[in-house]
Structure 1
Amino acid sequence: MGVVVVAWAVGVGTVMPAAADSDPPDYLKVMKAEELWKVADGSGITVAVVDSGFKEVPGVRSESVLPGVSVIEPPVEQPDKKYSPHDDVAGHGTTMTAAIVGDGSGGGPKGLAPGAKVMPVRTSIGMPLAFAAGGEGAQGIRYAADHGAKIINLSWGDHYAFEKLKSAVQYAQSKGVLVFAAMGNEGEGNNAGNLLAMLPGVIGVGAIDEKAMPLKLSSYGPETDLSAYGSKARVRCKENTRWCVADGGTSYATALASASAALVWSAHPDWTANQVARVLIETAGGPVDGSKRNDRIGYGAVRPRMVLLEKAGNPGAPDVDPLAPAPTNTPTPTASTGQTAAAPAEAASEEAGLPWQWLALGAVVAAGLGLAGTLIVKRRRS
């Protein structure tokens, strides 16, 4: 049986209240989204959300979501059963979609890249057959790569289908797709990271709090590349019947990282996945101790405004993985001259993210991700 985990926490959610003091922090204001959207809003970029599907709900315009596909395997006793990609019994995929392209109505979040398109790729996450979601996800990744996705968002992980997923991710990368994967919510005392985040070229995303400090629950390691907001947010709850306020987790953080990439790519459509990744890494708000990166938050919080508004970041070589180790006979690459050296102090007060936990959905269980963590070692630039 496969082990599939999704990185958010609806268990602590509450139905959207009327009281303003119960609203989640306005991370879009911190990220200067309104100014960003005057430069680029994600138009022309398709983000595939390989997840539990998408349900048409208040807060997400239908024109922002493509037809997509369902890769759910039907039950043996119902071999002809069909599943619509525009259905979602868990609400997880719907939440990720809203975080990227939501319109902010009906109690839902405003998406960070409202001009982008989301391609829903539905797996059995949240269903009794969720043990099959890993293998289905591998199918979904290949489908997305073959049908125009520039970015693939994986806000979950699976151990037992890892080899299939690894092959699928490599296939997507061969097609020029940029892949983001949530780090996980094992955190302190039981740090089991997401194997997908360890793969070369995959951007592993962690979560930080409002003060840009790493969350205790956030899984971490050398595979952590970037971080984003992941705490109190508007998420789908009550079997995807309404919006609630709850910790969004690294699932939500990953969706925001994907949306940030969509903004950058929308402004620079001639860039490759490597170049988009490179400028996001170079312009991230780094650790507060002044180090270039650490295992808790990676290179820091995503800051697309640095690229779009400050014109920072050097896209560099189009065919070179920005996280690949530097050749031993050449100096280690440094940030571009346009990058602000004081990013750590800024990160403590600006871009931030919040706590999260792994959530069990149906047959999904929060265990097992770290079992093979020592079998692969993700490459690092420094």
Structure 2
Amino acid sequence: MWNVSRGEGVTVAVVDSGVNASSETLKGRILPGEDLTDRPGSATDDYHGHGTAMAELIAGSGEGGGIKGLAPGVEILPLRVTVAEWVDSEDSSIAEAVRKAAESDAKILNISIASSHQEELETAIDYAVSKGKLIFAGTGNSGGDKDYSAYPAGYRNVVGVGAVTKENKVADYSQGGNVDLTAPGSDFPGWCDNEFVEPCTTSGTSNAAAIASASAALIWAEHPDWTANQVLRVMMQTASKAIDGSDYTTRLGYGTVRPRKVLLDGEGDPGDPDQHPLLKVEESPSPSAQPEGGSSDGDESASERVKVADQGEDGPPTGLLIGSGVAVVLLAAGVIGFLVLRRR
């Protein structure tokens, strides 16, 4: 895929705990951002490690022995918000960051964090979408029996992203219900503190959201005249489906994102530039739930498509962080399947 696109010309706003300016693998990729917290430092001081991990997964160059992200040509706009065990309705930093991103040159917003429902946040999301932004958010790590997504993934015009394991099974921690797409989320190297000395291993829908954001960046860089609606539409069309062929399942959403199908095989019809594909879907009868479904990046036969995991790795605790981590990404065609979760 990198022979076609590396995400050049696309900016991804990372709404998170900040992005470490000293990250060698992100050198030259971090734009001046903004701090929306009352913590010491600026947007390029990561007080948790989570935001840096997400940014590296998206845009890392691999320099200095660091992680090479899926879209190493992307630029990162860091927007530092309050990251805690959970963000309640009294904190407005995420909503403020979304508005800042809406007014920026960023095409994509990656929000690998969760919050309670906030009218201010929902209004900010609507504003960003009206400005042509494509928003990905992790659905949460409370397990497949949860039939709802955390916010902002739960809003109707945000692409909720769920996670699969490295065996390409839906992770047992990945919340089902309101899922749009899915992507790899388990066993990624990342940062679990702000010291940036020793990487840790992480699992969560945070990672999956970052992979989905990077996938969109690859496609958008190759098709710069497309709108956010068109990029999302082809991602949904080219996603691999459940083992039974269902177009939608409660845990896979519309399937596993496969940017290679767009970049290498030329598949997908971008369609109406002004019609949000998720909102159009919601005008139709609700898709039937198929929780037994699975997904894979393989195209050979239905038997190659995996089922939902009966067992899976433990995800990180549910909270603002939907999952900390960065993956070492293998980019050979046919290797990676990406999933995007969906909210209601």
TM over 0.5, yes or no?
Answer: yes
Compared with structure 1, are the counterparts of its residues 169 and 344 closer, same or farther at alpha carbon in structure 2 (3 Å cutoff)?
A: farther
Aligned to 2:245: 290
Q: Does the Cα contact within 8 Å between 2:12 and 2:108 map onto a contact in 1?
A: yes
Alignment of 1:192-211 (within 5 A): 193-211=149-167
Q: Which moved further from structure 2: 184-193 or 228-237? A: 184-193
Query: What do you get for the CA RMSD once the two structures are aligned?
Result: 2.9
Q: Find the residue that maps to 2:208 and give its secondary structure.
A: helix
The answer to whether residue 269 in structure 2 is matched with residue 314 in structure 1 is yes
The answer to whether residue 6 in structure 2 is matched with residue 41 in structure 1 is yes
- Distance (whole Å) between structure 2 residues aligned to residue 247 and residue 365 of structure 1: 11
1:299 maps to a residue whose letter is: Y
- Distance (whole Å) between structure 1 residues aligned to residue 50 and residue 87 of structure 2: 13
Compared with structure 1, are the counterparts of its residues 206 and 249 closer, same or farther at alpha carbon in structure 2 (3 Å cutoff)?
A: same
The answer to whether residue 226 in structure 2 is matched with residue 268 in structure 1 is no
Compared with structure 1, are the counterparts of its residues 241 and 217 closer, same or farther at alpha carbon in structure 2 (3 Å cutoff)?
A: same
Aligned to 1:25: none
Aligned to 2:281: 325
2:133 maps to a residue whose letter is: V
Q: Does the Cα contact within 8 Å between 2:140 and 2:318 map onto a contact in 1?
A: no
Deviations 1:86-118 (A, max 9, x none): 001110000000000112244532110000111
Deviations 1:112-142 (A, max 9, x none): 0000111000012159x96589510100010
Question: What percent of counterpart residues are identical?
Answer: 40
User: TM-score under structure 1 normalisation?
Assistant: 0.73
Compared with structure 1, are the counterparts of its residues 265 and 189 closer, same or farther at alpha carbon in structure 2 (3 Å cutoff)?
A: closer
Q: CA deviation at 1:287?
A: 1.3
Compared with structure 1, are the counterparts of its residues 181 and 345 closer, same or farther at alpha carbon in structure 2 (3 Å cutoff)?
A: farther
Q: Does the Cα contact within 8 Å between 2:89 and 2:116 map onto a contact in 1?
A: no
Unaligned runs of 5+ in 1: 1-35, 75-81, 330-339, 367-376
Q: Does the Cα contact within 8 Å between 1:49 and 1:119 map onto a contact in 2?
A: yes
Q: CA deviation at 1:147?
A: 1.2
Aligned to 1:371: none
2:17 maps to a residue whose letter is: S
Larger gyration radius, structure 1 or structure 2: 1
2:131 maps to a residue whose letter is: K
Q: Does the Cα contact within 8 Å between 1:88 and 1:240 map onto a contact in 2?
A: no
- Distance (whole Å) between structure 1 residues aligned to residue 96 and residue 284 of structure 2: 38
Aligned to 2:82: 124
The answer to whether residue 188 in structure 2 is matched with residue 230 in structure 1 is no
Aligned to 1:71: 36
Q: CA deviation at 1:83?
A: 3.2
Compared with structure 1, are the counterparts of its residues 360 and 281 closer, same or farther at alpha carbon in structure 2 (3 Å cutoff)?
A: closer
Q: CA deviation at 1:359?
A: 3.8
- Distance (whole Å) between structure 1 residues aligned to residue 137 and residue 321 of structure 2: 18
Q: Find the residue that maps to 2:269 and give its secondary structure.
A: coil
Aligned to 2:97: 140
Aligned to 1:170: 126
Q: Does the Cα contact within 8 Å between 1:54 and 1:97 map onto a contact in 2?
A: yes
Compared with structure 1, are the counterparts of its residues 246 and 344 closer, same or farther at alpha carbon in structure 2 (3 Å cutoff)?
A: farther
Aligned to 1:154: 111
Equivalenced residue count is 308
- Distance (whole Å) between structure 2 residues aligned to residue 89 and residue 133 of structure 1: 21
Q: CA deviation at 1:261?
A: 0.3
Compared with structure 1, are the counterparts of its residues 346 and 264 closer, same or farther at alpha carbon in structure 2 (3 Å cutoff)?
A: farther
Q: Does the Cα contact within 8 Å between 1:300 and 1:347 map onto a contact in 2?
A: no
Aligned to 1:253: 208
Q: Does the Cα contact within 8 Å between 2:230 and 2:271 map onto a contact in 1?
A: yes
- Distance (whole Å) between structure 1 residues aligned to residue 35 and residue 61 of structure 2: 24
Q: CA deviation at 1:365?
A: 9.0
Unaligned runs of 5+ in 2: 286-297, 323-341
Q: Does the Cα contact within 8 Å between 1:101 and 1:113 map onto a contact in 2?
A: yes
- Distance (whole Å) between structure 2 residues aligned to residue 272 and residue 343 of structure 1: 33
Which of residues 115, 119, 123 is equivalent to 2:73?
Answer: 115
Q: Does the Cα contact within 8 Å between 1:186 and 1:218 map onto a contact in 2?
A: yes
Q: CA deviation at 1:285?
A: 1.4
